[in-house]
Chain A
C-alpha cells in the first residue's frame, strides 16, 4: 500500500498498478460507468467518458476517464466537482440524441441505466416507460387505461405506474419529436384518439400542446397539413 491518493478530500493508501476507478470502488466511492470492461488494459476503455473525474493536483489538471487513469503518488481527484457533473450530464444527453427510445418495448425498462442517469443528472430526455417495469401485458395501455407515461418526461422512477396508477403527466410532456413518435404510435395501436390524449395532456402541459399536435398531424392522427421537420 505504497501510493497515497486523495479522492474527494479523503486520503487513501493503495497499491500501484491500478486505476482510480478500481481504488474508488474498493473504497466505497461511487463513479458511474458504461463502457468499462474490468480488465486492466488501458487500450480497451475510456471511450464513453461517463466515468470522468477531475484531476485537481498531482497531475495534469483536467478531466480524465477514471477507468484508465493509473494511480500515482500524490494524485488529487474530485468525482463531484461542477466540471465533472456538467461533463457527465453532457455525455448522457449526447448519447440520448442517438438512442432509439422505444421504451415501452425495451426489456431494460424499469432497470435502465439511461433512466437512472437522467434522474441523477436532472435530464429531461426519456419517457416514464423507461422507468416502468410493467411491460407487455402489465402495461396500462393494453388494459385500455390512458396512461400518459409514453409522452411524459421521466424523473420519478415511475412512482405511480409501479403501483398500478396511470401516469398523469405531471412532469410535463416530452418535446422530442422522435420520442413522441413511439409514444403516439402506441396510443394509436391501443385504440386511443388524438382528442383524448390532448385533453389529458393539457392538464400539465398546455404550453407544449402544439408540439403534440404537430407530431400527431405528421403521423396522421390529426387532420391537417403535415409539416416537415427540419430543412431538406
Chain B
C-alpha cells in the first residue's frame, strides 16, 4: 500500500511497534558485518536450534551494530517488562547457559553481562526503549565509561531496530520528517532549517551542508541529481557501514528531503562494493520504500517524485572524491577533475548535483524533526552536532563512538577508550585516515572540531581514530599511509603521481638505514608542494601523515638517519631482535640465552661483557625494558631475561670461572674519567678495551657510585658489585680514589694532561622539599640515609619513620628502615599506587614486608617540637581529570592529615651537585642544572670534554648510565682514531652460538626465581631474590623464540 496520509504512516508505525515491543522473551543478535566476522552467525543458528529443541516460546531479533566492537560477539536477552541485558564475548557454551538461566529461568547471568539497557540510549523520543527498573549488579549502558560521553544521534536506531524492517523504522519516527517537509514546508524553508542547524558535511571537508544545497538549488538546470557518497575508503573506517547495515532508511529519508529541497528528481547511492551486506540491505530498503510510496512517483501523496538508484563502486579509494565518484557513475574511469566548476553547477552528466556523505544525509531527518535550534545547541561554536568516530588500534576499548564536537581527544582516548592496551605508553592518535595526521600527547587537550584539528595539521576526515603506542614507529606510520595513497593515486597529476612516489622512496631509504641528513628537509619541502598543488584532495591530503610525523616526531626520523636506529623495533632492517634493540646497551640477548640453553654459562657471561661490564648488577636491579618488548610476551609471557643474565654470571663465579675480555692493541692516548659510578666505570671499561689508557677520578673512598651508595644490599650484595668492578680494574683501568676536582686536582690540569675527559659525576643530591623546617634534626634526605647504611653507619631513626616519595629511592629507604628494626614504616605519595615510579616488584615486596602506604597526600608543613621535626602535615589530594599523559592529576582538597614520626625522610628526586658545575664552569650547564651534551655523541660544548649518566640526563636508570658510558667511549674513539674500534672488537670476539630456529611454539609458564620469605627477610640484609637453579634456567632459555634468526633470514 502507498502511504499518502499521516494516518497511513501511523498505521505502519503500529506494526513496527508491535515487533519492537514484543510481549514475549527475546534473544537479540547484532549481525552487522563485524558481528558476523566475530562469530555471531553460528550463535544465532545455535539459538534457533536450541529454542526449538527446548520448545521455548521466545523470539529472535536481528539488529545492527551498537558499536561495542571490543566485546563482540554480543547477544542480548530481553524479558517483557525487564531491561535488555547485553552479554559480551559470547560462545555457544555461554549462550546455552544464558538461555537456560536468563531467557527461560528469568535470572540474568551477571558474570557474562556487560551492561543493561534500562531506558532509551539515544536522542530518539519515538517508541523509546522501555524504562524499566535495572537489575542489581549489572551496570546500565549510561554508566559504562564507553557510553558516558556519547550522544547518539546518527546511531539513534543502530542496535535497536531490525535494519530490514521499514515498519520498525517508522515506529521510531521514520519518514515523519519527510512527510512534514513535503506537505508542510517549502523547499527554501527546508534549506533554511539545514543552514541554521549548522550541519557541516561529514565526509571530511566539513563544508556547510545547507549552503551547498542552496548552490544546487540556485543552479540553472532542467534536471538535478543528488548523490550519497557511501564509498568510505579510509582503511579502518566503518562508521558509514554501521549506518548502512543497521539503519539504512535514515539515509533514504534524508535523500528524499534533500532532493525535494534542491529540486532533484533522481539520486544515486554510491556504495563501495566491499560492503556486500550494506548493498543487500539497501536494495531491500529501496524496494520496500518504493512499495510504500516513499520513493518513486508522488512520494507520500505529494507532487514530488524522486527515483533512487544504487551504484556499486569498484575498489578505488579515489572514487570517494566527488568528481571521481561522478565520473565513475557516468561509466568513466574514476578520475577527479579540477574544481571550479563545482558539482553544484555542473556535476553528474553535466547537471547540477549535490553530493553528501552517509552521516550527513542520516542527520537531516532528525534535524527536521527536532529543529535547527536543537541541533545547533550541540557542539562548538564552529562545528555543530555530533560525529561518529571509529576508535581503533592499541586501545583497550575499541569500537564506534558518537560524541558531540568539542569533546577532547583526551576524553575519547582515556575516559571512553580506557587508555592504551597492556599498560604501554600512549604515543599518538592518528585521525582522518591516510589523509589525516598524528596528534601527540601534548595536544590531547584539544576539543575535537574541524578548525582545531586542522590547526594541529590533522583532519576530522571520515572519523577514524587510530591509537598508537610506544611500539609504533612513526616513520613506519608515514610510510604505511603513503604506501596506500601512492597506490590509490589516479595518476593524472604530476605532483601526486610522481611526488608521492618520491616521498615514499625517501621514507624507504630512511627506514632501511640509508637516510641522509638532507632527507628531512627534502621530505618537508616536497610534501608541502604536493599538498598545495595537487589536482584533488587525494594528493592534497596524502602528505599530511608525513608532515605531522615530521613535525611532532622529528626525533624518530633523526634517530633513523643519524643512528640507524628504530626505537620502536619496527623497521626490520635496522635491528635483529627487539629485546636487543630496546636494551640501551644493545646486549646480545638471544645469543646469551642460547648459550645458557646449551650449558655454556661462562660464554654467556662473556657475551654479556662485550656490551655491558655489569651483567651481575643489571641481572639484579635493571628495569628490563627488554622484557617489555619480548615477542614471547605476545604469545604467553615474556622471557625472564634479567634472571637469566644473573644466572649465567652467578654460575660462572660459583665455578670460580674467570671471564676473558677482548681488548685492542694499546695506543698512547689518555682519557680521564671524573666519577667512579656506573657511567664512569663503563666508559673506562670500554675505552680500555679499545686500547686507551684510562684513569678514574673518584671523590669517595670506593668505586661504584649509586650502585654502592644507593642500592641496598638486599637487592645488590657488595661482593657482586666488587666482582664486577674487579673485572674492570683487571683490564688495566687506573683509579685515584678520594680525589675531588677543584680541590685535589683542578679541572684545567685535567684538561691539559689528558687527551679527552669524560664527566660522569651523577646526580647525588636529594631534591629539596622547599618547606620550612626541612633542615631540622629529625628530617633526613633519602640518598644520605642509604649512603650511611651502605657505608656501615647505622643512622638513628627511632621506632617510626615516614618517607615522602614514590620512587625507587623511597622504597629502598622504606625497606632498609624495616631491616634496621624500625617498626612503623610509612610511605606517603602524592598520587595513586599505580602511578608510583618505583618498580612494581619493589612496591609489592615492600607491601609484603609490612610497610604502610598513604596515597594522595602531599607534604604541606613540617611539624616542629623543641627544635626538632616530629611529623608532617599532609594535604589530602583527590583525583582529578586525566592529563595529556594519561595520568590523573591530583588536586588538593581542603582536608589535611598529620603523620607523626621519629624520623622523616625525603626522597622526591635527585639533582646534580651544583658545586661541580661551579668548578667546571657554567658554560657547560643546561638550565636544569645538568651538563649539556649532544645526545648522539655525548660531547659537551667543549670538543675535548664528554659527559654522560645522570649528570647529563638527570636521574635515570643504571642501564642508561652504562650505555651512555659505552656511547661516549665510541664517540671518543671515533674522534681520536678516526675509526670505529667497536667493529674491530667485534671481529676479535670468538663467541659462537647455535643459529638453529627452536621448535617451541607451545605455551610454557615463565620460570620464577625463589625469594626469601617476607617475615624472615626483614631481619637481615641478605639478598632477597635467589638465583634460578640450572633446570629452571634451561627451561626458561628454551622459551626464547630467537627473533634474531628469523630477522636475519628476513633480511636475506
Chain A residues within 8 Å of B, Cβ to Cβ: 42-43, 46-50, 52, 59, 62-65, 68-70, 72, 83, 86-87, 90-91, 94-95, 97-98, 230-231
Contact = CB atoms under 8 A, between A and B. Distances in A.
B1010 interface: no
A98 B338 CA distance: 24
A23 to B, nearest CB: 15
B494 A94 contact: yes
B509 A231 contact: yes
B699 to A, nearest CB: 50
A87 B533 CA distance: 6
Contact of A46 (B337, B530, B573): B337
B509 A49 contact: no
A68 B502 contact: no
29 contacts: A46-B337, A46-B535, A47-B493, A47-B535, A48-B493, A49-B533, A49-B534, A52-B533, A62-B532, A63-B533, A65-B535, A68-B337, A68-B338, A69-B340, A70-B340, A70-B341, A72-B340, A87-B495, A90-B499, A90-B525, A90-B526, A90-B529, A90-B530, A90-B533, A91-B494, A91-B495, A98-B498, A230-B514, A231-B508
Contact of B498 (A50, A95, A231): A95
B512 interface: yes
Contacts of B893: none
Contacts of B498: 94-95, 97-98
Contacts of A47: 492-494, 535
A94 B338 CA distance: 20
B535 A87 contact: no
A87 B528 CA distance: 9
B495 A42 contact: no
Which of B340, B492, B533 has the most chain A CB atoms closer than 10 A to its own CB? B533
Contacts of B512: 231
Contact of B341 (A42, A63, A91, A231): A42
A61 to B, nearest CB: 11
Contacts of A91: 494-495, 533
Interface string B321-350: 000000000000000011011000000000
A87 B527 CA distance: 11
Nearest to B533: A87
A88 B493 CA distance: 12
Contacts of B573: 231
A68 B525 CA distance: 26
B511 to A, nearest CB: 10
Prevailing SS type, chain B contact patch: helix
Contacts of A52: 533
A230 B510 CA distance: 12
Interface in B510-549: 512, 514, 525-526, 529-530, 532-535
B564 to A, nearest CB: 13
A95 to B, nearest CB: 6
A50 B535 CA distance: 11
A37 to B, nearest CB: 14
A46 B338 contact: yes
Contacts of B509: 230-231
Contacts of B337: 42-43, 46, 68
Nearest to A65: B338
Contacts of A97: 498, 502
Interface in B298-341: 337-338, 340-341
Given A46-B337, A94-B499, A231-B509, A86 B535 contact: no
B341 A49 contact: no
B335 to A, nearest CB: 8
A46 B525 CA distance: 22
Contact of B495 (A49, A72, A98): A49
Nearest to A67: B338
B495 A90 contact: yes
A63 B337 CA distance: 14
Interface residues of B, number: 24
Contacts of B508: 231
B296 to A, nearest CB: 32
B611 to A, nearest CB: 27
Contacts of B534: 49
A94 B534 CA distance: 13
B535 A49 contact: yes
Nearest to A70: B340
Contacts of A70: 340-341
B492 A83 contact: no
Contacts of A83: 532
A227 B514 CA distance: 14
B495 A94 contact: yes
A72 B526 CA distance: 31
10 residue pairs, one from A and one from B, having the closest CB atoms: A90-B529, A94-B498, A47-B492, A87-B533, A46-B338, A68-B338, A47-B493, A63-B533, A91-B494, A43-B337
A43 B509 CA distance: 37
Nearest to A34: B494
Contacts of B535: 46-47, 49, 65
A65 B508 CA distance: 31
A49 B525 CA distance: 17
Nearest to A68: B338
B494 A95 contact: yes
Contacts of B499: 90, 94
Contacts of B338: 42, 46, 64-65, 68-69
B520 to A, nearest CB: 17
A42 B495 CA distance: 19
B533 A48 contact: no
Given A47-B494, A230-B514, 6 more contacts: A42-B337, A42-B338, A46-B535, A47-B493, A65-B338, A90-B533
Contacts of A65: 338, 535
A50 B512 CA distance: 33
A16 to B, nearest CB: 13
Contacts of A50: 494
Nearest to A46: B338
A49 B532 contact: no
A231 B514 contact: yes
B575 to A, nearest CB: 16
Given A90-B526, A90-B533, A48 B341 contact: no
A95 B496 CA distance: 11
A92 to B, nearest CB: 9
B494 A49 contact: yes
A65 B529 CA distance: 14
A19 to B, nearest CB: 10
Contacts of B514: 230-231
A107 to B, nearest CB: 23
Contacts of A48: 493-494
B561 to A, nearest CB: 15
Contacts of A62: 532
A136 to B, nearest CB: 31
A35 to B, nearest CB: 9
Contacts of A64: 338
A86 B529 contact: yes
A65 B535 CA distance: 8
A98 B505 CA distance: 13
Nearest to A83: B532
Interface in B441-500: 492-495, 498-499
A114 B573 CA distance: 38
A98 B573 CA distance: 27
B497 to A, nearest CB: 8
A64 B338 CA distance: 8
Nearest to B513: A231
Contacts of B532: 62-63, 83, 87
Nearest to B573: A231
A63 B493 CA distance: 13
Contacts of B530: 90
A218 to B, nearest CB: 17
A94 B530 CA distance: 10
Nearest to B499: A94
B28 to A, nearest CB: 48
A177 to B, nearest CB: 14
A94 B499 CA distance: 6
